[in-house]
Every structure is written in structure tokens, then in C-alpha cells.
Amino acid sequence: MSEPAVTTRTNFIRQIIDEDLAAGRHARIATRFPPEPNGYLHIGHAKSIVLNFGLAQDFPGTCNLRFDDTNPHKENREFVEAIKADVRWLGYDWGERVYFASDYFEQLYGFAVELIEKGLAYVCDLSAEEIREYRGTLTVPGRDSPCRDRPVAENLALFRRMRAGEFPDGTRTLRARIDMASPNINLRDPVLYRIRHGVIHHQTGSEWCLYPTYDYTHPISDALEGITHSLCTLEFEDHRPLYDWCIDHVSVPCKPRQIEFSRLNVEYTVMSKRRLTQLVDEGHVQGWDDPRLPTIAGLRRRGYTPTAIRTFCDRIGVTKSDNLVEMAMLESAIRDDLDASAPRRMAVLRPLKVIIETLPADHSESLEAANHPKDATQGSRRIPFTREIYIDREDFAEDPPKGFKRLVPGGEVRLRYGYVIRCEAVVKDETGAVVALRASHDPATLGANPEGRKVKGVIHWVPAAEAPAAEVRLYDRLFQVPEPGSDGRDFRDDINPASLVVIDGARVEPALAGAQPGERFQFEREGYFVVDPDSSAERLCFNRTVGLRDSWGKAQGR
């Protein structure tokens, strides 16, 4: 497991914790990462993971992994295991501190009874639609439910019968008795429990047909675990008074301090779990680990590293101001990491055969190539140089545009790590398409400049007979606009039709023949690539992680 980089950049949350520790409010901090297991984690969750586990690591303290599993209709074991794998992959370990909100269902039920006994909760017969109607609006106060003044004994009896499964879904709820005129709609007698028949909970099976709501469960779970600092994104700021109300009115052992920070929004993608689920379920992408998605599983399959994601989270910082982060920042983090670590290899994505006629048919010599131009410790590899090679079609132009510095009829170019070659003739098929080039080489130019002339272009190549074929998947941004679905559009209408281009029949240098899934390389002059899990010895498959430069920023004039 890779070790998380220590984050030293300060932020307002760190300052609060420093003050709390200095004042003696806590001897040791305790945080938690509390995902709902109703989908895969995305890059926004990574920000929370790095923050919560990073704080526990730096101060030091503890960080729990807790699954807020109160909605069995949308949750399952697959999501639980995927979340665990993602947190571990990012470099964090929760030890024995993995919990589920469902671990506390009996205690939560007991606290609900306590609220009923105090006259602070009641069983309501209104339907969900009627509850919304009675709640009022931001400018109109709510109205009391006809059930609000039910006697305590009747509420207790009905609540027990709800647990026993005597009532159908939607016929009764347990609501907090707070203030139907509160300017904060979250305090207008919110629902604490609802009936859910016919679902199998991934932890408790069919034991319960009565499930607590998130807003009731979350703060009590924090308190039961002794969390000192409960970190949430800004959309939960208006829920904090309800969280505090729950904690203040039941006999939990402590009162966590909730602090809100801005959630992560990144250009050219979506972070909504609902929208991500739509993309997966409707087949716009190929599963939760599709490399075009901002899921951690997708980023991992695309070739992102834990270090790059942690670096990105550190660079964007932690604030209380919502903002839209440029995708270029995330791409810059992975470029910086892979530039330093990824071995270099040559790959020809769109092969064009070149026959070097000044070499004999059986010619083969071994050319040395550095694995990394800036890191001699990575060593070198040997590349066979033969009479027939492949170059990329884009490196030849029969009628070149101005400034073209690659191969042209009668022109010269240097082969990377090899000789200078000259294009002597162009071979075409019956349709006039170029199918091969005939060339000569200058034997005095291996590691030396030609005498009396200057060759400006350098192109990559692979030996034709020994270069394995490969499928190359060129992934790009999933959406073609920075804010998908803005101005009232359906966000799916903004999907980039060129977000995936599959090239079948690319050729890679022989050193890649044994490349294993997850290995990352820089394909020289092309970008950074990772071996996909679909890859095998019989059929290599590479995913483009990111290009060598920000082509999108250039297109936008940045």
C-alpha cells in the first residue's frame, strides 16, 4: 500500500482543531469518513477521505470508516466492498474501526422511544405528499399535523406496532416535535423513521421494517463513536441545527462539533450520485469503473495514482467557498507524478510501414534506449532495429503544411534512439492511399549529427516484425462543456461523442510485451498510458491516462 503524503498546508478546520486541543476541549481528535453505500466513490469523496484521514494522521488521532446505511432500497454489499477498496487504494487504513449505522439500529430505536417519552416525537398518519404540503415554504410557515398532540402512551404503542410490521409502507412515520414555524424548514417536525417492507438490508437482512432517516442517524452515530469533529460539506449546514437538536435531546455520551466545508466540483464532469447512476444504468458509460467517470475506480482504471489524487486534494485546499475547479488541475497532478515515475516506451498508434532499403532483409541490431531521460536509476532497454519498421501515419505528409518537421518525400528525419532516414519513395494502393514508404538510412548518424546538414525532426518507431499489436483506448473528457446540464439542459445532451476512441491494431515496442495490468508508461510523444485489466499476453490493451499537454486549455485559449 502506498503511503499517504503528509499534508502540511493549513486551513480553517486545522485551525479550529488546533484551538480545541490548545483549550483542552479534547485530548485526542476523532474523525470519520461516512459514505452511503449506494454507489461508488468519486473524486469529491477523495477530498473528504484525504481530509478526515489526513487530520487523524497529522494531529494524531483516529478516523473511523462508517457506512451510513439507512436506505436499503439503494444500498448493497458491492458498494461496501468497492468503498473499502478505494479508501485502501488511496493509502489509508481504518484498522479495526469500521462501523455501520445499522450497528446502532437498536440503540437508535431506543433513543426514539426516549424522544417519544419526553413528548419530543410523535407518530404521524400523514402521507409523504401531505407532510410536504403541511411543511410550508420558505415564506409560509408550516401547519401542525393532526397527530402532533397524540398522547405519549399512544405514540409508544403505535411506534412498537410500526416496528412489528403491522402497518403498510407510507401509512405512518415518526416525526420530531420541534417547530412548524421555524425559518429553517429542516426543523419543521422532520421525519425520524419510516416504514420499509420487503427489502433485505445488506447487514441486518429482514430483521427491520422500520428504518431511521439519515438526519437522525448521522449525528447520533457520530456521538456513539466519540467523534470530536464531524466534517460535512456545505449542503449540510442548514441541517446542523437538527443534528444538534437530536444530540441535545437524547442521552448520548458526547456532542461532536460539526464543521462544514465546500464540496468539490470539477469542470467537464458530474459529481451527483444520482447523475452518475444514470450514466451507468443507461449505458452511457461501461460501468462504475469506466475511465471517463470521476469515480475513484474509474480514475484508477484510467491510470491515476493515489499520489496524484492526494496531491490534487492538497492543491485545491479546504475552504467554505463553493467553486468550480478546472479539470486541468487534476490532469496536472497526474502529469507531474507520471513525468517523474513512468518509464518511457514507444508506441505507434496508426502504423505506416517504412522499408529501409539500404539495410539487408535479415538486418537486426540492438539499439539502447533510456527508460527515463531524467532518472538514470531506471536503467535502459534494448530495441531491435530492422529493415522494416512502423512509424505513425501522422509523422508523414506527402503535401506537408508549413512548419511540418517530420517525414516528407525526399526529406530526412531522425528515428528516436536511432539513425537519420530519408524518404525515397511513396508506395500507394489502387485507390491512391499511401500504404508504405521506401527509405534509406545514414549509417554515420547513430548518436551523431549528419555532416553538412541539419535534421530538425525526431519521430518514434517500432520494429515491424517484433512489435506486438495492441488495442489503445484514447479516453477524453466525458462532457464537452465545463458545466454539464447548465442553463436547464439535460446534462446527458452535453456528453462528448469523442470521449472514447478505440484504436485496434496499434503497435508497441517489444519491451511492452509482458506489461501487466496497472503498469503505467509514457508513450513518447503521445501521452501517459496504463495497461487495462482487459489486457492479456495474447492481446495487449492500453488506456490513455492523459496527454502530454493540456490540449483542452489550449483550445479554450488558456
- Catalytic positions, written as ranges: 36, 263, 273
CB 6 within 8 A of CB 58: yes
Residue 165 in 3-state DSSP? coil
Tell me how far apart the alpha carbons of residues 103 and 204 are, in angstroms, rounded to a whole number: 9
Q: What is the DSSP letter of 495?
A: B
Tell me the chain's radius of gyration from C-alpha atoms. 31
Distance CA 322, CA 326 (A): 13
- Burial bucket for residue 205 (CB in 10 Å: 0-12, 13-18, 19+): exposed
Q: Is 168 exposed, middle or buried (0-12, 13-18, 19+ CB in 10 A)?
A: exposed
End-to-end CA distance of the chain: 37
Residue 56 half-sphere exposure, CB side, CA atoms within 13 Å?
25
User: 347 near 522, Cβ under 8 Å?
Assistant: no
Secondary element (H or E) of residue 108 = helix 105-117
Question: Sign (positive/negative) of CA torsion 546, 550, 552, 555?
Answer: negative
Which strand ranges, in their side-by-side order, compose the sheet holding 191-195? Answer: 121-124, 173-176, 191-195, 210-212
Contact 197, 208 (CB under 8 A): no
In angstroms, rounded to a whole number, what is the distance separating the alpha carbons of residues 249 and 503?
62
β-strands 469-475, 462-463 pairing:
unpaired
What is the three-class DSSP state of 235?
helix
Distance CA 473, CA 427 (A): 29
Rounded-to-integer distance, Cα 369 and Cα 511, Å: 11
Element (H, E) at 352: strand 351-356
The answer to whether 303 and 520 have CB atoms below 8 angstroms apart is yes
**Which DSSP symbol is given to 364?**
E
| Cβ density class 279-291: b for 16+ within 10 Å, e for less | bbeeeebeebbbb
